[in-house]
């Protein structure tokens, strides 16, 4: 009789844990839907949210991020011809030129922010947005970024010039982005279009990628988890 009640108690506890987990997942999904709606329909509110997020991120994580970046680049940023580094204000014109050189088909799936001069300066000033580049001397051949949120989630993205693809540059970018996020104990996330065959192919053998869910418009929400 005692063991029976003990068994029922364990089942009840397990049921409570599962229910609590489902409630947390529902709350998280609901909040994501709200934020996505605000971002695409209420831009003035989204700007305010980004400002608050940047302030909180600067206070809690900016100093540690500054320490981590050179360590990660030193460990994962080795290439015989290229330099991988954080962009400075003078690089914004170079980034704009880089984007203008790219094929419109590639830019269809790469729209993390606008690329006019005013927008680039605004993104650059956001303490929760880390802009990085791959350079062949003074020529930018790749752009990648990390967009941090104070709830310990980080969204990453990258674009490599067509002439420099299939040379391992994307893999180096990935390792830098992932390890910066992981070193801060952030979840490393991204959204990928299933219509973007190049990126889908590039990630087909990515050992770190886990598909979390479909989020509409044929996009996947994915997480990159450390082994």
How many other C-beta atoms lie within 10 A of the C-beta of residue 111?
A: 9
Q: Residue 82: phi, psi to the nearest 5? A: -115, 155
* pLDDT of 13: 46
pTM, whole model, 2 decimals?
A: 0.82
* pLDDT of 166: 87
* pLDDT of 205: 82
- Closest by CA to 148, choosing from 216, 226, 60, is 60
* pLDDT of 3: 44
Reading the chain (227 residues) residue by residue, the pLDDT tens digits are 444 433 445 445 444 444 454 554 545 566 566 666 666 666 778 788 889 999 999 999 999 999 999 999 999 999 989 999 999 999 999 999 999 999 988 899 899 999 999 999 999 999 999 999 999 999 999 999 999 999 999 999 999 999 999 899 999 999 999 999 999 999 999 999 988 887 888 788 889 999 999 987 889 999 999 97
How many other C-beta atoms lie within 10 A of the C-beta of residue 191?
A: 14
* pLDDT of 28: 53
Half-sphere exposure of 80 (CA within 13 A, CB side): 2
How many other C-beta atoms lie within 10 A of the C-beta of residue 122?
A: 15
Three-state SS for 94-116 is HHHHHHHHCCHHHHCCCCCCCCC
CA distance 109 to 102: 12
Contact 127/149 with Cβ under 8 angstroms? no
């Amino acid at each position: 009789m005692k063991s029976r009640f003990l068994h029922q108690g364990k089942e009840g506890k397990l049921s409570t844990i599962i229910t609590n987990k489902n409630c947390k997942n529902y709350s998280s999904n609901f909040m994501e839907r709200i934020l996505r709606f605000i971002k695409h329909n209420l831009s003035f509110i989204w700007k305010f949210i980004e400002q608050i997020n940047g302030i909180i991120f600067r206070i809690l994580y900016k100093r540690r991020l500054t320490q981590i970046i050179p360590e990660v680049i030193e460990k994962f940023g080795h290439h015989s011809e290229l330099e991988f580094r954080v962009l400075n204000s003078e690089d914004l014109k170079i980034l704009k030129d880089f984007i203008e050189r790219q094929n419109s088909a590639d830019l269809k799936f790469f729209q993390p922010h606008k690329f006019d001069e005013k927008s680039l300066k605004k993104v650059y000033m956001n303490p929760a947005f880390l802009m990085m580049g791959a350079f062949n001397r003074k020529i930018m051949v790749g752009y990648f970024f990390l967009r941090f949120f104070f709830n310990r989630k980080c969204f990453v993205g990258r674009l490599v010039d067509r002439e420099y693809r299939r040379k391992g540059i994307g893999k180096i970018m990935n390792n830098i982005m992932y390890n910066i996020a992981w070193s801060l104990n952030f979840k490393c996330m991204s959204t990928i279009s299933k219509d973007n065959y190049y990126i889908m192919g590039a990630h087909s053998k990515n050992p770190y990628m886990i598909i979390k869910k479909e989020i509409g418009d044929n996009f996947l929400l994915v997480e990159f988890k450390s082994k």
